[in-house]
């Protein structure tokens, strides 16, 4: 009996923003998804900092990774796609969200949790010289850079905090604690009102002021900031406060673009009722700090965002199913405020009764730790094995899921066996070389190159998959020194409604057209189908002049240039297991989605041979070049460019399923020169790359000039990674960095 087909996708849920409410919604969605609903999370960053732990991080009690919710891992668990972009509008008639870096994304139900800002855009010098406490991620990164600059003497330890509310005072105490013992350290809080700390009990206020005095934090009240320079804050009373870091924590501002949505707003925040729906449009929900609860106004606080999550999840599911009653959210009137005091002590305030001590820090630390533990990826579990199976299952199945991208290619050995019996083309107008990236077609005086490639999806985002697939396929054209001409799209979509088919294909075509159009090429047709999973591929053609680059042109004495870093297969394999850091995944996706036409244009006129590094890894594709040219190569292990996080993933045992076959295909032909680095280097050499870099053999004297030109063109991690020499086709790895270093 055939297994039941997967439930078709019929409705799009878009979660705009990676705030605490949406993070909790995704966490619960992962445990009980709604069949037929496709979920999209839109966030400008791959991680979202947890507000409760930010003061502890600033004070030095937590590392950055301890307070960040990894949205990449969370989206993977929930089966959602994560779009790393910033929203700039909502078209309610078209039911789309406008983004800054890609076409609009359609929704059937939309939820907004984009947080707030403490920017002061009207203040002279603020944009150039200050950082806002919110959004938190930018401030945390700026603070760490400032601390390092103070430690090296590059910046004086002088900080000014604009805003004397609880948030400003808490951050001031944390920064003072981190700078304690630093000669000349000074933290000043500036409050325009006559008194600081509104909205907190008198007893708690008195204690916080005492702690500020004990920590050496100065307080200026009754005067506003008139302007900011790189060295100081100018007050309206004429005073100048020296400050190398200025932090804005005065009040809260909504995102400015919300004014253009036509939604009912309260002081710029999205108005919602008890069901967290906009009264303007019931298809739009809002939660967290960006929402104003008209039925129960409350200050902006994370406790409300957290407690909105179960109600929001229930109501989103009901709206998507168009069935069931919506629940109402009624917030409590007061809540326990736990304020960090810099050191490992905290102050509690509720009902005007203050308490403080180390035990309250321990209480707060435990609450925060439990909250963050809920977002940790689950332990990796091996799939259940059948009671009995045909012989050879263990070796054929391997010990990990099938990879996506080029990691899903057939291994080199069986592929070569299949191609060995294929006769050479018996046509004068077809020119092929052993292992060349594309076939060359002769049509009169013109030469056209043609190749095809497709990718098994490693992301549920059709836009990013189409962009990477187009870059990947065009690599064969660039490697031959040709100019892209035409692309034929081949796409398989999972089962979905016609409405979602149209939306998905529109995203795919937009991504493909963006890549093709920038190269002067055109999409001229293709083929579409429905299947078990998404795959996207392209047949591509290019036009070449009198000279077509092949792998056989490499010469002893040439230098080898690689245009971008290695490690995509390792990152993608670890991401499938939810073990890769979100920032590292984002860096890998960005690298894969970057076209290389400009790099090819720089290299092709001087290169003697060129290829693109894809499924068979750097060693496999280099060996094709060496075999065709009849020479050997020395690689410099220290010069190999590597994606962020890859070496840590290698040390943790992560790798693509195809890497083992790549390694076996070159047994005895790759000689690591440093046994202590053999595991690390070997993993990099055999890792299958998706949309990997161009590998060019160039005259040795041209290498420094070409490398400088590549880096100036934006290929900042391009590197000279080795040289060619006389001898049998093999690869020797030198542990050094080589004679030519990048800028």
| Residues forming the active site | 406
Contact 407, 662 (CB under 8 A): no
Which residue intervals of 96-254 are DSSP H helices? 126-129, 136-151, 166-178, 202-214
Backbone φ/ψ region at 181: left (φ over 0), alpha (ψ -120 to 50), beta:
left
- Which residues, 6 or more positions from 328, have their beta carbon under 8 angstroms from its beta carbon? 274, 275, 311
Q: The tokens 């040219």 sit on which residue?
A: 629
Q: The tokens 């629940």 sit on which residue?
A: 327
Contact 246, 233 (CB under 8 A): yes
Closest CA to 463 of 130, 42, 6: 42
- 660-690 burial, b for 16+ CB within 10 Å, e for fewer? ebbbebbeeebebbeeeebebbbbbbbbbbb
Contact 206, 245 (CB under 8 A): no
Separation in Å, CA 403 to CA 359, 458, 480, 576, 586? 48, 7, 28, 8, 18
Contact 718, 631 (CB under 8 A): no
- Which residues, 6 or more positions from 586, have their beta carbon under 8 angstroms from its beta carbon? 46, 72, 84
Closest CA to 689 of 589, 613, 599, 586: 613
Query: At 234, is the secondary structure helix, strand, or coil?
Result: strand
Closest CA to 509 of 539, 494, 488: 488
| CA 632 – CA 626 distance, rounded (Å) | 6
Query: At 524, is the secondary structure helix, strand, or coil?
Result: strand
Contact 73, 82 (CB under 8 A): no
| CA 121 – CA 110 distance, rounded (Å) | 29
Tokens of 725: 């020499």
* Packing angle, helices 462-479 and 582-592, rounded to 10: 50
| CA 124 – CA 128 distance, rounded (Å) | 9
Q: What is the DSSP letter of 103?
A: -
| CA 132 – CA 171 distance, rounded (Å) | 12
Q: The tokens 């000669």 sit on which residue?
A: 183
């Amino acid at each position: 009996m055939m297994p039941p087909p997967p439930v078709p996708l019929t409705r799009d849920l878009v979660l705009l923003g990676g705030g605490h409410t949406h993070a909790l919604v995704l966490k619960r969605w992962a445990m009980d998804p709604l069949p037929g609903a496709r979920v999209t999370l839109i966030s400008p960053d791959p991680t979202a900092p947890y507000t409760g732990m930010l003061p502890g991080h600033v004070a030095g009690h937590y590392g950055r990774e301890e307070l960040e919710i990894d949205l990449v891992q969370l989206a993977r668990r929930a089966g959602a796609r994560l779009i790393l972009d910033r929203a700039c509008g909502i078209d309610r008639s078209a039911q789309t969200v406008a983004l800054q870096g890609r076409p609009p994304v359609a929704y059937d139900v939309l939820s907004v949790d984009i947080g707030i800002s403490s920017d002061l855009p009207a203040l002279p010098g603020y944009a150039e010289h200050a950082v806002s406490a919110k959004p938190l991620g930018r401030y945390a990164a700026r603070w760490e850079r400032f601390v390092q600059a103070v430690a090296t003497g590059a910046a004086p330890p002088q900080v000014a905090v604009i805003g004397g509310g609880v948030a400003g005072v808490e951050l001031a105490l944390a920064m003072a604690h981190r700078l304690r013992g630093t000669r000349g350290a000074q933290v000043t809080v500036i409050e325009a009102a006559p008194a600081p700390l509104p909205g907190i009990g008198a007893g708690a206020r008195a204690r916080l002021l005492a702690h500020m005095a004990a920590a050496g934090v100065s307080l200026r009240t009754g005067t506003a900031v008139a302007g900011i320079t790189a060295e100081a804050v100018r007050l309206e009373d004429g005073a100048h406060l020296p400050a190398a870091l200025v932090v804005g924590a005065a009040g809260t501002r909504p995102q400015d673009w919300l004014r253009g949505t036509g939604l009912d707003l309260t002081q710029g925040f999205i108005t919602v009722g008890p069901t967290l729906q906009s009264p303007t449009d019931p298809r739009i929900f809002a939660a967290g700090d960006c929402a104003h609860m008209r039925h129960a106004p409350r200050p902006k606080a994370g406790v409300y965002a957290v407690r909105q999550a179960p109600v929001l999840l229930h109501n989103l599911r009901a709206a998507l199913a168009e069935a069931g009653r919506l629940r109402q959210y009624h917030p409590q009137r007061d809540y326990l405020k736990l304020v960090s005091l810099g050191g490992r002590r905290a102050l509690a305030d509720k009902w005007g009764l203050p308490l403080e001590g180390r035990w309250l820090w321990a209480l707060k630390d435990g609450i925060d730790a439990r909250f963050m533990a809920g977002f940790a990826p689950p332990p990796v579990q091996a799939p259940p094995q059948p009671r009995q199976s045909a012989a050879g299952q263990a070796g054929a199945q391997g010990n990990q899921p099938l990879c996506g991208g080029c990691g899903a290619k057939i291994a080199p050995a069986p592929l070569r066996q299949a191609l060995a019996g294929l006769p050479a083309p018996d046509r004068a107008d077809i020119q092929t070389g052993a292992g060349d990236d594309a076939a060359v077609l002769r049509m009169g005086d013109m030469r056209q190159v043609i190749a095809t490639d497709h990718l098994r999806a490693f992301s549920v985002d059709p836009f990013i998959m189409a962009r990477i697939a187009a870059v990947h396929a065009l690599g064969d054209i660039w490697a031959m020194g040709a100019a892209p001409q035409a692309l034929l799209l081949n796409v398989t979509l999972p089962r979905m409604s016609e409405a979602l088919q149209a939306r998905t294909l529109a995203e795919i075509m937009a991504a493909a057209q963006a890549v093709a159009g920038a190269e002067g090429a055109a999409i001229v047709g293709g083929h579409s189908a429905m299947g078990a999973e998404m795959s996207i591929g392209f047949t591509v053609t290019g036009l070449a002049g009198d000279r077509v680059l092949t792998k056989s042109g490499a010469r002893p004495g040439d230098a080898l240039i690689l245009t971008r870093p290695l490690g995509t297969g390792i990152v993608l394999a670890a991401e499938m297991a939810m073990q890769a850091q979100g920032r590292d995944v984002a860096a890998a996706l960005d690298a894969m989605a970057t076209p290389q036409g400009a790099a090819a244009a720089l290299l092709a006129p001087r290169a003697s041979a060129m290829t693109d590094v894809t499924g068979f890894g750097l060693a496999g594709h280099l060996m094709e070049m060496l075999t065709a040219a009849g020479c050997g190569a020395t690689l410099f292990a220290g010069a190999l460019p590597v994606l962020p996080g890859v070496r840590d993933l290698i040390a943790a045992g992560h790798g693509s399923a195809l890497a083992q076959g790549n390694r076996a295909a070159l047994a005895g032909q790759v000689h690591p020169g440093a046994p202590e680095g053999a595991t690390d280097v070997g993993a990099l050499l055999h890792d299958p790359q998706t949309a990997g870099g161009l590998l060019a053999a160039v005259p040795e004297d041209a290498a420094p000039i070409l490398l400088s030109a590549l880096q100036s063109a934006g290929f900042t991690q391009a590197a000279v990674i080795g040289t060619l020499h006389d001898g049998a086709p093999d690869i020797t790895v030198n542990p050094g960095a080589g004679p030519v270093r990048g800028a």
